[in-house]
Structure 1
Amino acid sequence: MIETAPITAVMRALADPTRRAVFERIANADEITVVELTRGSGVTQGAVSQHLKSLKQAGLVAERPEGRNVYYRAEPEGLAPLVDWMSHYGTFWRDRFANLRTLLKEIDP
């Protein structure tokens, strides 16, 4: 299997709306089980497990087994590639808007 760049893995994991919703529920809880994630989601437990697998592979969630339950928690550092990517483009757009502002001032003295 070809290993993807971390930003690609994070973007792929968060591209799916259901997976994003699962991640948001995990991020809003200290820890949560698959059963709790499935409850009220309208998605089967098997589907939630598949979404968790993708989130885990992207480094966005971690699991902690305890007895018969597995608890999931968000891994904030998993979002670092996305934050870095957005920061790069934030600088890009700030520079472009500054150039546009200068141009508009030159056009309309």
Structure 2
Amino acid sequence: MTPLLKSFAALSDETRMSIVDQLIKHGELPAGELAPGAGISAPAISRHLKVLREAGLVSQRADGTRRLYSARPEGLRMIAEWTQSRKAFWDGSLDRLEAALMEDRA
């Protein structure tokens, strides 16, 4: 699986998307602060974090006995670049839709 596909697969889960969103909004957080927000057990959060780490979307560092997680800009940049590379397609499609709607109104 390519890195981009791994990223999309990891983010296709609502809990993992929520974790990444929390890390983007709040910066580095311990796993324990992610579990209550998701409403699932600590072991389940750990499994989700493992998937996100393997996809290159989050990083982990040790601080004593705690594990701190943060969003990886490099992994998220890859998704943003892919999305931007398809911008011309979407702009053209939306322009054609707008023209068709305007034509129907006339």
Say if 1:42 and 1:99 are closer, same or farther in 2 by CA, change over 3 A: closer
Hey, what does 1:80 align to over in structure 2? 77
**Residue 19 (structure 2) aligned to one of 22, 33, 40:** 22
Structure 2 CA distance for aligned equivalents of residues 53 and 102 of structure 1: 46
Partner of 1:63: 60
TM-score, length basis structure 2: 0.82
1:92 correspondence with 2:92: no
Q: CA 1:71–1:103 in 2, change beyond 3 Å: closer, same or farther?
A: closer
**Residues 99 and 69 of structure 1, relative CA distance in 2, 3 Å threshold:** same
Q: Measure the CA separation in 2 of the matches of 1:95 and 1:60.
A: 30
Aligned-residue identity in percent: 33
Q: How many Å apart are 1:21 and its aligned residue? A: 0.8
Higher percent of residues as helix: 2
The offset of 1:85, in angstroms, is: 1.8
1:52 counterpart = 2:49: yes
Partners of 2:58 and 2:72 within 8 A in 1: yes
Q: Does the 8 A contact of 2:15 with 2:38 survive in 1?
A: no
Unaligned runs of 5+ in 1: none
Query: Could you tell me which amino acid in structure 2 is paired with residue 57 of structure 1?
Result: E
Separation in 1 of the partners of 2:21 and 2:8?
A: 15
Separation in structure 2 between the aligned mates of residue 103 and residue 30 of structure 1, nearest angstrom: 44
Q: Taking structure 1 as the reference length, what is the TM-score of the superposition?
A: 0.80
**Amino acid in structure 2 at the alignment position of 1:15:** S
The number of residues matched between the two structures is 106
> Structure 2: which 5+ runs fail to align?
none
Name the amino acid aligned to 1:20.
M
| Alignment match, 1:10 | 7
